Amino acid sequence: MKNSLSSFTQDWQKNMERTKETVQFNSDFIRRELKLKNNQTATLLYLSNSVDLKTLQESVVAPLLHHDTSVLMNLKYIEQQVLDSHVIQYVNDTKSASFLFYEGAVLLFLEEELDALAVSLPLYKERSVTDSKVETVIKGPQEAFTELIPSNINLIRQRLKNPQLRMSQFKIGEKTNTDVVLLYLHDVADHKLVHRIEKRLSTIKIDRVFESEYIQEVIHDKNQWTIFPITFTSDRPDVVVAGLTDGKVVILINGSPFSIILPTGFTDFFKSAEDYYQPAYYSSLIRILRYIALFICMFTPAIYIALTTYHQDMIPTALLLSLSAQREGIPFPAFVEALLMEITFEILREAGLRMPRTIGQAVSIVGTLVIGQAAVEASIVSAAMVIVVAITAISTFVIPSYSMSIPIRILRFIFMIFASVFGIFGITVAFFLLCIHLCQLESFGNAYMSPIAPYDQDKSPDTILRFPFNKRKQQKQEIEGRP
């Protein structure tokens, strides 16, 4: 039920004044009165920096002034016979009117008409569609989302010409009133999941929304805590369309080029869009390489610490003598040595990301080489430790998803701590605890480790290995018992 304080009254001039009061303190607020040929008075209220003034003049002002009629006009007549605009709606309360102002609408008040006519003429300052800077591919589509929802929806519809595509719109953020759109395929998506997400979006209480992370942090289950992402983000239209056709739900946020794809699983973060644009055998080998890199970047420093501290008898004699010679004169134990190098590299990595792109990459590479060489010559760390840290860091970049690489980097330090205290036994215990934690997680009702645990034969052909498309279809038909 509408608030009586914001609903329009039976006095059209009072309605106009109350609407004006909601935005009159903006320096770009414009009130323009037009005397029509039938002697009626029409008043336009708008914010000049939010409205396309050229379109306003051509589609609203000129038609109103030049329309030749002697009869009294009402808003319905103006909408159907006079205005040349595509998006028009009626407004009968000041709260809705104030929101429409900031969305680029022009409010038309007509003498003796109790409602107002809102003509949408937003001034879009949109950047052009470019390639993705985060999910880069060599072969395949190069387009990426922009910050505006209409443009992103258009990119999706170009690839998904399906009448089953459904959309629900929300306004989230008590102060920003950010547009958020939920998309799904009606005949493929789980309707219970859709209703569950719609309910959560409609009940979000937050002051502002500028990026997808604002939604991700408040939409997930409150009863589970984890450092792992339980929602997948992408700025690629082809990835979003692939998710929609798989029955997933997509959330677009106005002002952010990154969409949210729900539900998701652990294995989704090790897939790349390019996997489906390359031969199946090549994509499968690359995926196996990614999982090898995952174990390298998580366990290599921890295993080095455990072997050099507690399990020297497991190292071949020649290698042990070489490591001992390198560590001669090093004042720190292996754990402190590894911790210093890992923290140094993380600092250099963040510095390279935050610095201007023209010099950031060069500074991070040169800084790593210079500091590593200087640290070895100063006998602060061993040459073997520099190699371990370098291999670990490079392996991190093999993971396609940046949001997954962050928890992997955190886990690396946790495994190092367990290795420094308990050796190989500590690494084994920490790994089992990690597996238990991952198997307990859910992403909106779906097991996070599915289709591995629990095993799902239907989805298994696209987990670690990518089977050819015809083989996946054939296996699916065999599972469902179809010829």
pLDDT (tens digit, 9 = 90+) per residue, 331-344? 888 899 899 888 88
Percentage with pLDDT > 70 across the chain: 92
Q: What is the pLDDT of residue 305?
A: 94
Q: What is the pLDDT of residue 264?
A: 92
Domain residue limits, the chain: 12-120, 149-264, 280-447
Q: What is the pLDDT of residue 360?
A: 62
Looking at the DSSP bridge assignments, the partners of residue 106 are 119
Q: What is the pLDDT of residue 472?
A: 59
CA distance 115 to 108: 9
Residues of the chain under the 70 pLDDT cut: 1-5, 85-86, 357-366, 471-483
Q: What is the pLDDT of residue 332?
A: 87
CA distance 209 to 216: 11
Q: What is the pLDDT of residue 157?
A: 92
Q: What is the pLDDT of residue 434?
A: 95
Q: What is the pLDDT of residues 106-126, one digit of tens each?
A: 999 988 888 889 998 888 777
- Among residues 213, 276, 287, 211, the alpha carbon closest in space to that of 239 is found at 276
Q: What is the pLDDT of residues 121-168, one digit of tens each?
A: 888 777 778 888 888 888 888 889 998 898 899 999 999 998 899 999
Q: What is the pLDDT of residue 328?
A: 83
Strand, coil or helix: what is 302? helix
Q: What is the pLDDT of residue 410?
A: 93
DSSP 8-state class, residue 207 = S
Q: What is the pLDDT of residue 439?
A: 92
- Count the neighbouring beta carbons within 10 Å of the beta carbon of residue 450: 20
CA distance 457 to 150: 38
